[in-house]
Amino acid sequence: MILYYSGTGNSEYVAKRIGNEVQDEVINLFEKIRNQDFSDLFSDRPWVIVVPTYAWRIPRIVENWLMKTKLGGSPDIYFVMTCGGSNGNAGAYLKKLCKVKGLSNQGCISITMPENYIALYSAPERAEALAIIERAEQKISDSAKSIRKGTAFSEPQVTSKDRLKSGLVNDLFYPVYVHAKKFYVTDACVSCEKCEKVCPLKNIRMENGKPKWGKQCTHCMACICRCPKEAIEYGKHTNGMVRYICPKKCKVDRTEKSSWSSSWL
């Protein structure tokens, strides 16, 4: 079973591509994370977790969800991390997570996709984004091939810099950078409420037709990138900057099951 979380569509695209190649169910974790739903899941086939990289590790909201949710059936679990360039030493932390949960770690692979972190960096224009995704296709297919054959992903080379980034830098990243204080809404807002609906942490509530941000932000970039009017800014940094949503879509061959699916335990 393929489980994915995605702020701006890259991981969703990769999850669905893999789902089609291995012919397994693809499930979006958004509602489960948003509703703090930790009910047990069951799959006879290996678990495949597809997520973005946040500060050289898997997103904490996904790590937290995985820690609290029982994955029954197959003990094997693969991790596929989309990233803008590097997932550092993320695999080491996933090994620990598997040990705690009694799962058999089949490795972690990073797939370079377009950068989406517009609060700190910049995202590519559509044509460049499509070229980056094109270059990722082979690795997506190769990872699906390993999953289909039941072979573990090969161990990546990890440097001491990677260890530092996934360790100390990740620890500092959340308290220092990850907050919603710099988000604000401009007059372009048409009160459509989309930003409120796409937040995985219910961190946005509408007040007099305008979004107000709370303290639970995880910097997924969904609100700012998915606003149809580009009416959300993050400090001065995002002024005039490209909003990123994965330009390639993939239709799942098999039905995507929602959180109340009967196949769940």
Ligand X SMILES: Cc1cc2nc3c(=O)[nH]c(=O)nc-3n(C[C@H](O)[C@H](O)[C@H](O)COP(=O)(O)O)c2cc1C
Q: Is residue 28 close enough to count as binding ligand X by CB under 6 A?
A: no
200 belongs to the binding site for ligand X (CB under 6 A): no
* 203 near ligand SF4, judged by CB under 6 A: yes
The answer to whether 237 and 122 have CB atoms below 8 angstroms apart is no
Which listed range, 32-40, 88-96, 139-147, 226-234, lies at the site for ligand SF4 (CB under 6 A)? 226-234
Cβ atoms of residues 48 and 147 within 8 Å: yes
As a three-state string, the secondary structure of the chain is: CEEECCCCCHHHHHHHHHHHHHCCCEEECHHHHHCCCCCCEEECCCEEEEEECECCECCHHHHHHHHHCCEEECCEEEEEEEECCCCCCHHHHHHHHHHHHCCEEEEEEEEECCCCCCCCCCCCCHHHHHHHHHHHHHHHHHHHHHHHHCCCCCCCCCCHHHHHHHHHHHHHHHHHHCCCCCEEECCCCCCCCHHHHHCCCCCEEEECCEEEECCCCCCCCHHHHHCCCCCEEECCCCCCCCCCCCCCCCCCCCCCCCCCCCCCC
Query: Is residue 242 near ligand SF4 by the rule CB under 6 A?
Result: no
Q: Could you say whether residue 140 binds ligand X (CB under 6 A)?
A: no
Of 85 and 102, which has the nearer Cβ to ligand X?
85
- Contacted by 91, from ligand X, ligand SF4, none: CB < 5 to 8 Å by type: none
When binding is defined by CB under 6 A, the residue of 227, 245, 246, 250 that contacts ligand SF4 is 227
**Residue 70 beta carbon to ligand SF4: minimum distance, rounded to whole angstroms:** 26
> Which residues ranging from 167 to 186 are in contact with ligand SF4 (CB under 6 A)?
180, 185
Choose from ligand SF4, ligand X, none: what does 234 bind? Cβ within 5-8 Å by kind.
none
**Closer residue to ligand SF4 in complex, CB, 56/213:** 213
Q: Which of 192, 241, 242, 252 binds ligand SF4 (CB under 6 A)?
A: 192
Which of ligand X, ligand SF4, none sits in contact with 169, Cβ below 5 to 8 A by type? none
CB atoms within 10 A of CB 16: 23
19: contact with ligand SF4 by CB under 6 A: no
Q: Is 7 in the site for ligand X (CB under 6 A)?
A: yes
Instruction: Choose between 7 and 91: whose C-beta lies nearer to ligand SF4.
Output: 7
Contact footprint for ligand SF4 (CB under 6 A): 180, 185, 189-195, 198-201, 203-204, 211, 213, 217-223, 227, 229, 231-232
Contacts to ligand X by CB under 6 A: 6-11, 52-56, 82-86, 113-117, 219-221, 246
